[in-house]
Amino acid sequence: MARNAILLLSTLALFGALFLGYLVVVQDPVLNASGDSPEVLPVDRGRAGEALRLPNMEVPSGGGVSFTIYHRETGRPVQRFECEEWTPVADAKDEVYVKQPRLTMWLPSGMIATMSADEGQLQVEDLEKVQGRPRAGWLKGNVELLLDRSRERQRTPLSERPQDEILAMLAQIDFDFESGELRTDGPIKIVGHDFELAGVGLHLIWNQADNVIQSLTLRAGERLVLYGGGGLLRNEDENAAAAEAATAEEAMAAATSVKQVAAPKQRRPKKAQKAYLCVLPDGVTAYEFKGETTGGGLVADEVRMLFEVGGSSHDLTQAPAEQPVEKEAAHPESAPASAPASAPTTAPAERSGVIVHWGGQLRVEPVPADTGEKPRRHLEALGTEVKLWRGDEKLVCGRLEYHDENKQLWLHPAPGGRVEFARGEQLAGSAQTIYMDQERKVVKLIGDVDFTSAAGSGGRRQAIRCALWGELHLADKPRNEAEAGEAPLADWMSAGGLQSATFVGAASVDLGEQTLSAERIDVTFADGADQASIEAALEKTVASGDVRLEQRDESLQSDRLEILFGLTDAKRGYPRQMDALGSVHIKRGRAWLRGQKVHAAMDPGDAAAGGPEFVLRTLEVIGHAAMSDPTRKNRLAARGERIFAEFSGENELQRGTVFGTPERHALVHGFPYTVRGERVDLEWDGLHVAGPSRLRFEATRSLQGRQRSRRTPIQVTSTESLDVDLEKNTVHLAGDVVAVNGDESLHADELTLLLEDAKQAAPTGPRMPGWLNALAPACSRQSIQACFVLGPQLWRQAQSIFALVQRPGQALAGEARQRGDWLDRGGEMKRAIRKEPLRLLAKNALIQVESLEPGETKPVTHSSIGAPRLEIDIVGRNIETQGETTLLVVNRQLRPETAGQGDETFGLPSAMVTRGPSQTVMRCTKGMTYALGSEGPVRSDSTVFDGNVRFIHVAGREMVRLEEMLPEVRSDPGLLAQLKSRNTSLDCDRLECGFLVAGAEGDRAGAMSSRDTRLKWLLASGNAELRDEREVLVKQSGSKTTQRWESVVRTVFAHQLDFDLEQRVVRVLGSAAAKARIYEENPDSAEARILVGEEFSIDLQNRTVRTGPSHGTIGR
């Protein structure tokens, strides 16, 4: 529109200048012998009278006149004037009347201008003088000004070239050369191939001193038609538009410059010398049309157009180089080839263009010219409400300013208002100011920017906003032929014309249920993408600076969010990669995930088969990675420097890894397990840790099989590896394994735990891996949805785009609910399964139980079992060892001996029931079996030692490292006097024992661990040898009764020793090869006793001994 309008105004001014400058009756070429170009404007050297006398000729009055003026150097015609009749006006010596006047001019650019009328009258000063010039006059009847814009020297008739014709038609015209004024009060119509103007009352004032139009006024405009496919502010063909502008501007420059008429050589372009402002006031309406159909339009209170002529741009002002012509061409005898075609009155029905109406007069006035390289061509629309629309696209502002020379557009608001734009019901938006640079392919939205679009369902409005500015980068080339002629506004109001978009300053995208906010949001569109496919256009989305993605109780926070898009086989877009950077925090309810970077890679899903739009393939959290989901039954948590997971199928976990450091191990918790290690490898059916590791879970069963009153943690560490097999329900650790459960601990080179699911209600869905049910709880479902936040191509199909944003997340959530996959957030598909230990297998193991008194740092009691191979049936409460086995029992409790004297009759029972500080070691070479009895106030345990059994029991002052075991004696040596010393040892081939463990209910005692453990029965067989050394208190009578401790040593050799606490009987049996023997001596008194026999039966209750055949000695 701007180019054609400026071309029209240039032509209107051109006609006025040509008329004033070239309406010459007589001109003498001889007077220019000096070589200067003939003057353009003066009508000189003519005179009126009965005969018009010119140098060397006389023109009689009343006849026709025709003469041609040639350029004296090139020989080309410059002007031709002709009329059918001329007559001096009676009683007016300075006026002449002409009929059918016609003036033809060949301009330096190659164009040809022709002016004609039915009649005219000229007022000529000093008509009788050769130097006389016309001062004023008029033309009437079919006044026409015709311009042939072709530059070709050899040309076909103008009737065959309608595109080169511009024709102005008037009923009459008055002119006054002295005042430089030209006026017509009647109608005027200008018709060209590219425009058509109809109006009334043309008034032009020419400033002869400055050689410019002083003012040009069209009193009333009826209709202005600008033809061409460009429409309002559209991109017309650059070359054609430049050529047309050059045609008008060169013609005007030639008509208004004295020096330009006859210049024979190519001239260097000059800077722009003339600038004009055209004003269309009092309500301007313009609308597009094609045939009989109307399209877009423009409404404003006032439209201003500024244009310059005579500039230095090569493609606009430089005239073609002069070429020599044949003489025949220079002296045409007939009418020039620019004879007008039939005057067009109506545009062909199939043509398109813009029709303009305005209410007031059209004014053209000179303004200061610019010195820029390109002539200015500006269009400005003003008003309280300037509206520009096309189809369902609408734009409202207070001022629209378009610079055609550099293709820049400004849209300013009305005072107190905003620039508003809309595309039907799908899109509405506003900004403080909009700027577009079409050459740089940039659109800037300045101030508070607001885009709103309807969602695909539910009628929810979606919005994009920013506080500072937005910037749209347009595609370098049209995406398809339909957009090749689109207006600049259409380029950025359709995604097909977008290359990228940026929103800065508290930018936010509100998708109804979801909101993305950041300091800056950038979107990139793929080259060559079809504008009809929104998904196909998306290439990249970047949000930076305090990024937040929120939906109900779900949120993502990071410093930067970057999403790359791909295409499915069906040419639908999907997020193929997502990167959240800088303090990433993803939250869903109480579940969260955080790290310095979160990376996710996706593949297209099988949406055609009812699957999700996309599926997760890899997920990576880097830098202080951590996650937690306490809402799940398995209370999922993970922590490390890096978390990585791979998925297959429809988001099914294939494998994953949590990486830690030597200083800060990775952690994975999924009820019932908590695992730590430098690297934790996860798979669908288990996990693996290479290197140092730690495993933790809770159970009511202890490692030895005791049933605790409540769940207590079992924590296991290792230095080499950890493997958890979910299918087999086993845990295996290797390398310095340490397992701790309450007062129990186990040390081994290797440990294998066989677990079982605790009895509870059956789960409603398939069993999932405990620790990675939701390794990406909100990341894969919510954060990756951010990739679709800017899925809209922004404007043209915003409604379907915003629907697309929600569809993947909704489809994926629905898929989870239907299939029970790992993304489901409800927790109904998989109830947490608590684990209980079933069996334990350890190599080179040591299992121990220790108890502490309140305020104590060292255990009061200690019991341990060590063996090369240790196997515990935790449910059956049975401990088995293979190889050399050692059972150690230590008691540090300080309290007086409470056993009765009868219990001391024989050393063996007393060795097992001593109350107070003691140390006991039981060792065998083949193996041991220890069975824990049923739970109760007093538990009955049993044990079997096999192979070279060695039993040692020491108490009191006989204890090893006494001061370390009993540090109290350092401060109170008298405590030793209260302790009874004992040193007992037993050797045999096999030893079987039964124990009563008091106070073992609940969580307290393990095997041989209670401070109230008493021997219930004992059976030692095969080469049994018992040695018991103890202290006894001896009373001495005299003048004063005294007491002293004496040592008593008992030694028993037998094939079998049998003790029964309930019957309180000790049996000593010999064999056929060797009889039983009992030795007892008192080193202090030198007393000794020896008993030899096949069998001894000692009744501890009544202190009697029954024997079979026996013999013995007693002496000192």
Higher-confidence position of 465 and 211: 465
How far apart are the C-alpha atoms of 856 and 852, rounded to whole Å? 6
CB atoms within 10 A of CB 640: 29
Domain for residue 1023, yes or no? yes
pLDDT value of residue 886: 92
**Top mean-pLDDT range of 93-97, 436-440, 986-990:** 986-990
pLDDT value of residue 346: 45
Question: Residue range 74-100: average pLDDT?
Answer: 82
- The DSSP bridge pattern shows strands 284-290 and 195-207 to be unpaired
- What is the residue-wise DSSP string for 153-174? SS---GGG-GGGEEEEEEEEEE
| Burial letters 571-602, b for 16+ CB under 10 A, else e | ebbbbbbbbbbbbbbbbbeebbbbbbbbbbbb
pLDDT value of residue 927: 95
pLDDT value of residue 15: 53
**Top mean-pLDDT range of 540-544, 605-609, 963-967:** 540-544
Question: Residue range 556-578: average pLDDT?
Answer: 85
Question: Residue range 1106-1111: average pLDDT?
Answer: 69
Q: What is the dihedral of CA 543, 544, 548, 549, to 10 degrees?
A: 20
Range with the poorest average pLDDT among 434-438, 459-463, 647-651, 739-743: 459-463
Kindly state the DSSP code that residue 402 receives in the 8-state scheme: E
Higher-confidence position of 947 and 826: 947
Name 793's Cβ contacts closer than 8 Å, sequence gap at least 6: 494, 495, 496, 498, 525, 531, 534, 537, 538, 801
Query: What three-state secondary structure class fits 841?
Result: strand
Question: Residue range 750-764: average pLDDT?
Answer: 76
Question: Residue range 480-493: average pLDDT?
Answer: 47
How far apart are the C-alpha atoms of 6 and 195, rounded to whole Å? 10
Question: Residue range 835-856: average pLDDT?
Answer: 87
pLDDT value of residue 559: 93
pLDDT per residue over 1028-1059, tens digit each? 887 666 666 655 555 566 677 888 899 999 98
Q: Considering only CA atoms, which of 106, 104, 136, 108 is closest in space to residue 120?
A: 136
Higher-confidence position of 778 and 850: 850
Question: Residue range 581-588: average pLDDT?
Answer: 88
Domain for residue 136, yes or no? yes
| Burial letters 48-74, b for 16+ CB under 10 A, else e | beeebebeeeebeeeeebeebbbbbeb
pLDDT value of residue 746: 92
Question: Residue range 451-460: average pLDDT?
Answer: 59
pLDDT at 350 over 80: no
Domain for residue 1024, yes or no? yes
Higher-confidence position of 33 and 278: 278
Higher-confidence position of 1101 and 104: 104
pLDDT at 571 over 50: yes
Kindly state the DSSP code that residue 37 receives in the 8-state scheme: P
pLDDT value of residue 21: 44
Higher-confidence position of 567 and 253: 567
Domain for residue 133, yes or no? yes
Do 339 and 303 form a contact (C-beta atoms < 8 A)? no
H-helix or E-strand spanning residue 550: strand 538-551
If you average pLDDT over every residue of the chain, what do you get?
Answer: 73
Full 3-state SS string of 368-387: CCCCCCCCCEEEEEEEEEEE
Backbone angles phi, psi at 311, to 5 degrees: -75, -175
Question: Residue range 498-503: average pLDDT?
Answer: 84
Domain for residue 119, yes or no? yes
Kindly state the DSSP code that residue 413 receives in the 8-state scheme: P
pLDDT per residue over 158-190, tens digit each? 888 888 888 889 999 888 877 778 889 999 988
How far apart are the C-alpha atoms of 717 and 120, rounded to whole Å? 117
Question: Residue range 453-461: average pLDDT?
Answer: 55
pLDDT band of 332, cuts 50, 70, 90: very low
How far apart are the C-alpha atoms of 982 and 269, rounded to whole Å? 127
Do 456 and 799 form a contact (C-beta atoms < 8 A)? yes
Q: What amino acid occupies position 782?
A: Q
Tally of structural domains, the chain: 2
Question: Residue range 187-205: average pLDDT?
Answer: 86
Higher-confidence position of 830 and 944: 944
Question: Residue range 889-912: average pLDDT?
Answer: 55
pLDDT value of residue 787: 32
pLDDT per residue over 283-307, tens digit each? 899 888 888 788 788 899 999 888 8
Do 287 and 391 form a contact (C-beta atoms < 8 A)? no
pLDDT at 823 over 50: no
Question: Residue range 229-234: average pLDDT?
Answer: 56
Q: To 5 degrees, how large is the angle CA 231–CA 407–CA 235?
A: 30
H-helix or E-strand spanning residue 668: strand 666-670
pLDDT value of residue 259: 34
Q: What amino acid occupies position 680?
A: V
pLDDT value of residue 469: 93
pLDDT value of residue 598: 92
H-helix or E-strand spanning residue 1036: strand 1013-1036
Do 206 and 213 form a contact (C-beta atoms < 8 A)? yes
CATH of the domain at 235: 2.60.450.10
- Show the domain range for 1021: 863-1115
How far apart are the C-alpha atoms of 27 and 172, rounded to whole Å? 25
pLDDT at 1017 over 80: yes
Domain for residue 1007, yes or no? yes
Q: To 5 degrees, how large is the angle CA 931–CA 937–CA 941?
A: 15
Higher-confidence position of 818 and 53: 53
Cis amide prior to 672 (ω within 30 degrees):
yes
The region that residue 62 occupies, defined by phi over 0 for left and psi between -120 and 50 for alpha, beta otherwise, is left
Do 966 and 917 form a contact (C-beta atoms < 8 A)? yes
Question: Residue range 2-9: average pLDDT?
Answer: 54
pLDDT at 251 over 60: no
Domain for residue 585, yes or no? no
Range with the poorest average pLDDT among 565-579, 971-985, 998-1012: 998-1012
Question: Residue range 416-439: average pLDDT?
Answer: 85
Q: Give percent above pLDDT 70 in the chain.
A: 69
pLDDT value of residue 727: 85
How far apart are the C-alpha atoms of 85 and 65, rounded to whole Å? 7
pLDDT value of residue 821: 34
Do 683 and 854 form a contact (C-beta atoms < 8 A)? no
Final residue of a structural domain among 338, 369, 400:
369
Domain for residue 1090, yes or no? yes
Count how many Cα atoms sit within 13 Å of the Cα of residue 575 in the half-sphere of its side chain.
34
